[in-house]
Amino acid sequence: MFIELRSCALVALSQETIKDFHLFLLKNKEYYQQTISSLEIELNVDSFQKQIERFFQNDRVIQVLVYRYGAIVGTTFLYWSQDGIRISNFFDKRVHSSYIPFEAVFSTIDFGVKEYGIEDLFFSVYEDNDKMLSIVKKINADLISVNPSEVNLTRKVHTYKLEAFELKRWLQKYHNFINR
């Protein structure tokens, strides 16, 4: 899978891209663990690949790498949970203020709506991730729970739901953006 967007390209995680993804996460390890998951990133690429394969066996639906000028600048993926499909994403700090996260995330959501019939979307945010919490307010997502992280019990995770109406509204904004 390869999708060329206005500000970036999306490439499905694969055997060909796993090493680059591994290097990207190792390079951004501290920020990744602070904002996305406290789970330890395997140092060995073969162990890392097995870790990713386990994620796909358990609950991951699709994962794409986000490229800008030939380099990975982020990742976004959909996975199953007891609530329904959830989304998770991570971007290099240097692209936060660009359109890249918006395009990549909503392209992935659009795919999930078309392929899996997503109506409501769920996602979780660490309570100390101020950047994401400010975005959550803008998109009008509903807080449904606050619980300890499964990976690190000392950290709290806020779980949100983006209702179908709001999801459709944001997808319309995404389509208007890409069709300008």
Mean pLDDT of the chain: 89
Tally the C-alpha atoms within 13 A of residue 121's C-alpha that lie toward its C-beta. 29
| Angle between the N-to-C axes of helices 164-178 and 100-116, in degrees from 0 to 180, rounded to the nearest 10 | 120
pLDDT digits (tens, 9 = 90+) for 6-23: 899 999 999 999 999 999
From 1-10, 65-74, 164-173, the region with the lowest mean pLDDT:
1-10
Token output for 173: 């904004």
Does residue 75 have a pLDDT over 90? yes
From 23-27, 47-51, 132-136, 161-165, the region with the lowest mean pLDDT:
132-136
What residue numbers bound the domain in which 10 lies? 2-178
Listing DSSP states for 119-160 in one string gives -SEEEEEETT-HHHHHHHHHHTPEEEEEEE-SS-TTSEEEEE
CATH code, domain with 72: 3.40.630.30
pLDDT digits (tens, 9 = 90+) for 125-147: 888 888 788 888 888 888 998 98
Mean pLDDT value across residues 49-74:
91
Listing DSSP states for 23-91 in one string gives HHHHHTHHHHHHHT--SPPPSSHHHHHHHHHHHHHHTEEEEEEEEETTEEEEEEEEEE-SSSEEEEEEE
42 vs 170: CA distance, rounded Å:
35
Count: domains in the chain: 1
